[in-house]
Structure 1
Amino acid sequence: MGTVGTAAGAPPRPGLRERKKQRTRDSLVRAALELFATRGYDRTTVDDIAAAVDVSQRTFFRYFASKEEVAFFVPRLAESRVVEAVRKRPPGEAPLEVLRRAVLDSWDDITETVEQLVPLELHLRVYRVIESTPALLAAHLRRATELEEELARIVAEREGLDVDTDPRPRILVAAFGGVVRVAERRWSTGDDFSAAAMRGLLTVCLDHVGPALVGSWRTDPSPDRHRQT
């Protein structure tokens, strides 16, 4: 028999204790991101975050090991959606198209995931904090390398390749990651900080991968179309 109040096939609703823990965790995330966005990462302490939620420092450390971990909590959730989307792409799809479509087609799902925790505008503001804070940017790039390795292994598995003997999956994912970084940098230094602008930049940068690698730059100049989606 199914759990009372739960639709057939749906996961059971978490118990009261788990829901309270989740609310505390989510409150800590929101408070931390708001402080990082308004005060700055380096000027925000763990005590500041805990005080904003009216909990102890000890409670904070039950949920997060450090300020850095809470700063990247939402981006990590978004990354997990991309990894999941890559795994679900149709068999036989070209590897580069797998990565492209996984990111662009799951954009709305990623946005929804973020907004379940924090306002999208706050998430984007903190993204700019990450780009402008050396310690956070270093952590972001370190995680990007780890994510590239994870994606390379998924791509290799899809193609029936050994990632440790065939360099193509790692080369492809490294190139794709570089494209994402170009889009992130252009977005973080531009005038339009919306999610639509970021998606538009990413789309245009991905459109230019092929021409940038094999085309003639003199005869095929790259138009600045980054505001288009």
Structure 2
Amino acid sequence: MTRLEAFSVSPDLPAGPLGLRERRREQTNVEISETALTLFERKGVEGATVGEIAQAAGVSQRTFFRYFATKEEAALRDHWAFEAVLAGGLDQLDTEVSPRLALETAFAAALTMYSDSSSIACLRLLRVNRLIKKEPALRAELARESVRRTAALVDVVSTRFDCADLQIRLAVDVSIAVLRAALETWVDQSSTDETASLPEIYSLARGLAQA
């Protein structure tokens, strides 16, 4: 596993064209995740079991665990996909600017994928993050993963910039904080404004953080 893969592993962003078997696996992955989200929205994370998710998705529990380690992980699929999009541009960080500016520029470029608030990517990201906001179990799952992912991101940036460790760490922590604030604000605003734009809110958040 590379440092980038460690930062953001996602089963739904393949490197190239899918064959028939891979497409079937991808469809099963989507169906399990969709079913988990639906049940969690209706019953809560604690109220839905892996068995119920598997049955509703039309798979066995054994098959479920071939795709996801936990029921929480299944529900977070589209959030991991979001992180994978962000990780996609890290190989081309601009080393002529500061680490923080390089990261924020890369994040801004990646977020253009979410420019259309009515797109499937946006709607799925909204759905899972609204559930995250309500469910402590999902927030706990994210918190556990964030430690590993942040450490891996620090590692990635450290290989590209000849800077003090503290500067690298601050660049990563601040960049992630700005991104998280923008994401949460977008989720909140989208409840009353369907045209709320994640890239625009992120741009505003960057400006405020600089100020």
CA positional deviation for 1:187: 3.5
Q: Tell me, yes or no, if the aligned pair for 1:96 and 1:172 is still in contact at 8 Å.
A: yes
Contact 2:78–2:124 (Cα < 8 Å) also in 1 = no
Q: Which of these residues, 129, 140, 145, is aligned with residue 142 of structure 2?
A: 140
Residue 42 and residue 107 in structure 1: after superposition, are their counterparts in 2 closer, same or farther (change >3 A)?
Answer: same
| Alignment match, 1:62 | 66
CA contact (8 A) 1:33 1:123 kept: no
Judge conservation of contact 1:86–1:98 (CA < 8 Å) in 2.
no
Q: Which amino acid aligns with 1:183?
A: A
Cα distance in 2 for partners of 1:92, 1:181 equals: 25
After superposition, the Cα gap between the structure-2 partners of 1:189 and 1:90, relative to the gap in structure 1 and judged at 3 Å, is closer
In structure 2, the partner of 1:207 is 207
Q: Please give the TM-score of this superposition, normalised by the length of structure 1.
A: 0.72
- 1:156 matches 2:158: yes
CA distance in 2, matches of 1:159, 1:185: 29
Instruction: Give the deviation of 1:130 after TM superposition.
Output: 0.7
- 1:64-118, Cα deviation, whole Å (9 max, x unpaired): 1110111222222221221221221333133222111211111234679xx7xx6
> Which runs of 5 or more residues in structure 1 are unaligned?
1-9, 212-229
TM-score, normalised via structure 2 length: 0.77
Q: What is the CA–CA distance in structure 2 between the aligned matches of 1:11 and 1:202, rounded to whole Å?
A: 29
Corresponding residue of 2:106? 102
- Give me the identity figure in percent: 29
Please report how far the alpha carbon of residue 155 of structure 1 lies from its aligned counterpart in structure 2 after TM superposition: 1.9
> Partners of 1:195 and 1:73 in 2: how far apart?
24
Task: Report 1 or 2 for greater relative contact order, CA contacts < 8 Å, sequence distance ≥ 6.
Answer: 2
Higher helix content, 1 or 2: 2
1:72-151 correspondence runs (5 A): 72-109=76-113, 120-151=122-153
Alignment CA distance shift 1:198-1:192 (3 Å): farther
Task: Report the counterpart of residue 176 of structure 1 in structure 2.
Answer: 175
Name which one, 1 or 2, has greater alpha-carbon Rg: 1
Q: Does structure 1 retain, via aligned residues, the 8 Å contact 2:85–2:110?
A: yes
Amino acid of the structure 2 residue aligned with 1:68: E
Q: 1:127 Cα deviation (Å)? A: 0.7
More displaced 10-residue stretch of structure 1: 125-134 or 31-40:
31-40
Residue 225 of structure 1 corresponds to none
Match of 1:167, as an amino acid? L
The offset of 1:26, in angstroms, is 2.0
Offset from partner CA, 1:135-193 (integer Å, 9 cap, x none): 211222332333222222222221124xxx62110112112222223334434444446
- Alpha carbons of structure 1 residues 12 and 202: separation in structure 2 relative to 1, 3 Å: closer
SS at match of 1:90: coil
